[in-house]
Structure 1
């Protein structure tokens, strides 16, 4: 039930949904006062949620900086959270815009910073299409000649809460000792740390796939960008999710 509610809430939190409603009301309303107010609010929100400035300010405060890894130390495992691959509309599998999670996890293993790679991810779609992210990712690791002995899979989780619970059980079963390096997108790291630490899993943040907040603020950050609208939706979901987990004791 919580999984379904979270999907519905994610849709209801889309800024573009409310901007669209305001502009539709402004277009069809026969009341001049309501028409002006809805048009003004709609355009104002459209600018706020499409100008990089405001998103970058949020990201600078929300994203967590990577922790410094101890020099010359090899950690037992890097936990790579799913969400960076899908069926690719063909059922064969494909990487998506968050593929930097995979890249950074592989680099940690290849450079000797971790012994094992833990892939945590099943199918997060509301209507499961049968695709198992972790299983497909394992095939990609095998193609890169990473031995099976260095790979641990958890292919049942649908969200971050399940990532943490099922990964903990997997680590205990395979007698892996922490601390572990947690690899996920920068926007997702704060909520992931909250959940993993709540489950008693000792993790070190290793954020990647930065979507915003990089570089200095400039005049161009005031110019609307369609990319920013979608990215706002991602951050809003994370902030609300963090708050809900805190209130409900899940994180």
Structure 2
């Protein structure tokens, strides 16, 4: 049996530790209060700061960066952190923008993370669509990550990335055996675009959970910013009303506290 220690630092940012590996997702470490521009007239103010400062993180072996062009997934302090990391995996356009230690992956491409004395991690990039149909030229490319290593009992460790529920995400359930899922939620909307949503709602999360049938589902990236329309309380109501198998799989992590997850 393998255990992974997951610390939800805030927003999409988590520290994932296992078998000597220390992997960080979507580094966001700026203090609250600033308004960030997301393009095409959309913006959002950061309401909550990180629970752990970058100086207190310790060494990071790799960063899984779902996308680099939105401040709620990579902010200024997060960019500074990237330079001290061995490997950054992100989208193909994102790797071109970042340069240096960044490697770009297209959906369904694979790569390996290798360090002496640690199990090799096979990483598969998974599809995302960060908005309604035909929005990709506006919102940009996003990917998720499915991680496989020896000793996993329940299936792969998956980071969904910022996405709505659509055919590409449903392919994950069809093609991969997911054991643990970090699912980006929040039901993002902007006043400028009215009812259009840019990330999953609680109802979509229930449908996704039924499809992937993961052993453990960990909601992340659902509050701490002005543009989230479904913070914890709203999401919890919808997930608590889900069928028993879904409800049992959902695990809310206390922010800033390391939690052990059986994978």
Give your verdict on TM over 0.5: no
**Structure of higher RCO (CA pairs closer than 8 Å, 6+ residues apart):** 1
Greater percentage in helix: 1
Larger radius of gyration: 1
After TM superposition, the score normalised by the length of structure 2 is 0.30
Greater percentage in strand: 2
